[in-house]
Amino acid sequence: MKEDSAAKNAKNRIDELTDAVNYHNYRYYMLEDPVISDFEFDKLVKELAVLENAYPEYIREDSPSKRVGGAVSEKFGQVKHNIPMLSLDNAYSKDEVTEFDGKIKRFLGYDIREEIDYECEFKFDGLAIELVYKNGIFVQGSTRGDGVTGEEVTANLRTINTIPLKLQKDISYQKNISYIEVRGEVLMDKKGFKRLNEERLEEGLSLFANPRNAASGSIRQLDPEITSRRNLIMFAYGVGDYSKEIKFETQFEIMSFLRTAGININKNIKVVKGISDAIDFFDDIEKKRESLPFEIDGIVIKVNDLKLQERLGEISKSPRWATAYKFSAKQEVTGITGIEVSVGRTGILTPVAILNPVNIGGVIVKRATLHNQDETSKKNINIGDRVLVERSGDVIPEVVKVVFKGKKAGAFKLPDFCPCCGSPVVIDGAAHRCMNELSCPCQIKGAIVHFASKRAMDIEGLGEKIVGKLVENGLIKNVADIYYLKQGDLSSLEGFGEKSEENLFNSIEKSKNISYDRFIYALGIRHVGEHIADLLVKYFGDVNGIKSAGIEELSSKFGIGEEIGKSIFNFFRLNSNLAVIERLFKAGVSPYIINVSISAENSKIAGKSFIFTGGLKDFTRDEAENIVREMGGIIEKTVKKKLDYVVAGGEPGSKYGKVVKLKLNIINEDEFKELIKK
Ligand SMILES: [Zn+2]
């Protein structure tokens, strides 16, 4: 009996919490007007997670925990759309838009001077999807596909925060709608797109050509976990089929209804009288376009009155009552006069096309990126070709495709040797890379700044500006040279007094005595961050130990993957790198190994993994992490499915949301202190 009432209480509380979390999620993501603090919100989520863990039978279909953990599928199912998802006709000029208006009036038998109400909204450049809500609960999501049949991607769409799992009860309509199909576009914002491609380049993966492809690729992932990491946004633009408890008279009413039901609607919607006002709206938006956080490719103009929409109907798979008024393409054709190879701060070789200067949307473009060898080969681009170049927003112009092949057959090939230092180039996934990290002049400034940075050798006063001056004046060519600077070398530089020289020499001296993991991290080996540096020292000891390990051993030992293993292995194969390390030691750099085994043996946390989020009261982040390391624990920097402890302090960061979703073991500062008690 007693158990029954406990279960009943749990069920009630799960219901309450699910509703509360969904509501606050709506306030936060859709209205951007939260009414509780992040901390309070997280408390609700945490309580819900605990209860759901204990009573999985009461987890509701619209539970926020359903946003993750969907099963990885082998293949997408098919969904037939109740009402086909039509595509829009395009218009590219004022004349074409005016003709669209004229046709409508003729079809309806209106006088040409009569004005029609149009609803204008953004034309998003994303992936069209359909969401089905039954009794307010999100039950199925699909892609547009060919308009008639799409792919079933419910689990992936669930991971998107701007897609509510449950509709808000509509206040103005005073009832729930029992069935509705919401149509929208899923997109990735410009920032997210840039970051994703940077990450992919780092990881040696092929790049996405534009945010639309990135969004589409992210939704069409068999593993929802990957989708959840992509920061996608959904904006709705209309409805498909719906139960008729609610009557709409205009397109604008539909959008207002969706908005109050908690569906994400872009704010830039306007009902105008007559086509000339729609054109004004377009001109206005075109000016704002570059400053928007996401890509749009124009506006959509829809007849606002639904009765008129019905009368107008459709013609060859496009509605007669709507058109997409597109921005003129920011693309032009020009010739490639040369291809330069630039070497970035991380050693990646990038082919850059030198163009016959061309005016694209008011900007003279002289260079465009070819991204990497894969892209160049795939598009078969070479010097002398006439190509289509595209410029969009703040992204570097890129060559889209060849329109006329020049005399040179085949694609341009990146050199086998670094154009900057002559070292052999190593193919690292999609990246071609100069591995001469410690001496290549193109990489050297970045390498030295990293070496001296706070978390590495911590040489105070050796920031970007001074490093730049030292390298430009030929005073240092690699990181070892720092320790061979002589008195007077620095004070000869502009803006550098004797006092500051003395200070710098002091911190250089101090840096010679540093823990071994920080020394390894400071070397800036590709893919070796603090965490992996720490593991390398734990498993292999010093430089000699790491150097003598094979790729297989490096990769398999702690499951870091072959990519990273290879990069470490190659680093220690290059004589110039070994020479620099040798000179560092000769100059008196003598890193020490912290012996963790004694204290770690008896510790409760040996071998356990930790991640910290938010600020602690009694420790700095570094202190807390060092304690964990010294007791034999492992510090993780990114949230993953397998983590033993998440230590959450005040005002936890973005990691926290993921942690909660993954139902990880969250502890507070007091519990952490208890753990590390000797
Ligand atoms: Zn180089």
* DSSP result, 53-109: HH-GGG--TT-GGGGS-PPPPSS--EEE-SS--PPPEEE-SHHHHHHHHHHHHHHHT
Amino acid 560: pLDDT = 66
Distance 390 CA to ligand 1 centre (A): 30
Beta-carbon contacts of residue 137 (< 8 Å; ≥ 6 apart)? 61, 62, 165, 166, 167
Distance 350 CA to ligand 1 centre (A): 12
Amino acid 599: pLDDT = 47
d(CA 8, CA 402): 67
Q: How far apart are the first and last CA of the chain?
A: 43
Dihedral (CA of 631, 633, 634, 635) sign? negative
Distance 521 CA to ligand 1 centre (A): 20
Amino acid 598: pLDDT = 41
> Could you tell me the strand order of the sheet in which 232-242 lies?
137-143, 127-134, 179-188, 232-242
Classified as helix, coil or strand, 299 is strand
Q: Is 123 one of the annotated active-site residues of the chain?
A: yes
| CA angle, residues 446, 614, 24, in degrees to nearest 5 | 120
| Single-letter amino acid, residue 410 | G
Q: In Å, how far from its chain's centre is CA 659?
A: 18
* Length of the chain (residues): 678
Q: State how far the alpha carbon of 188 is from the alpha carbons of 123, 145, 214, 359, 460, in Å.
A: 14, 19, 7, 28, 39
d(CA 173, CA 171): 5
| Single-letter amino acid, residue 668 | N
Q: What is the DSSP letter of 205?
A: P
Distance 263 CA to ligand 1 centre (A): 51
Q: Which residues surround ligand 1, an ion (CB under 5 A)?
A: 418, 420-421, 423, 434, 436, 440
In terms of C-beta distances under 8 Å and separation of at least 24 residues, what long-range contacts does 98-102 make, across chains too? 98/275, 98/279, 100/275, 100/301, 100/323, 101/275
Classified as helix, coil or strand, 155 is helix
Distance 421 CA to ligand 1 centre (A): 4
Q: In Å, how far from its chain's centre is CA 511?
A: 35
Q: State how far the alpha carbon of 165 is from the alpha carbons of 40, 126, 269, 368, in Å.
A: 21, 21, 24, 43
Listed as ranges, residues in the chain with pLDDT below 50 are 1-2, 174, 597-600
Distance 526 CA to ligand 1 centre (A): 14
Quick check: pTM over 0.85?
no
Q: State how far the alpha carbon of 630 is from the alpha carbons of 467, 504, 532, 611, in Å.
A: 33, 30, 16, 15
d(CA 86, CA 635): 51
Classified as helix, coil or strand, 273 is strand
Q: Are strands 179-188 and 232-242 parallel, antiparallel or unpaired?
A: antiparallel
Distance 571 CA to ligand 1 centre (A): 13
Distance 345 CA to ligand 1 centre (A): 10
Amino acid 543: pLDDT = 92
Distance 436 CA to ligand 1 centre (A): 6
Amino acid 283: pLDDT = 93
Q: Which domains does the chain have, with CATH numbers?
A: 2-67 (1.10.287.610), 96-326 (3.30.470.30), 331-404 (2.40.50.140), 435-591 (1.10.150.20), 597-676 (3.40.50.10190)
d(CA 594, CA 600): 11
Amino acid 642: pLDDT = 77
Active-site residue, from 66, 123, 190, 302: 123
Amino acid 230: pLDDT = 81
Distance 438 CA to ligand 1 centre (A): 9
Classified as helix, coil or strand, 654 is coil
Residue 135 tokens read as 């009794």
| Single-letter amino acid, residue 226 | I
Place of tokens 């008024």: 325
| Single-letter amino acid, residue 48 | L
d(CA 306, CA 312): 10
* Structural contact between residues 413 and 393, judged by C-beta atoms closer than 8 angstroms: no
d(CA 217, CA 153): 12
Distance 577 CA to ligand 1 centre (A): 12
Distance 440 CA to ligand 1 centre (A): 4
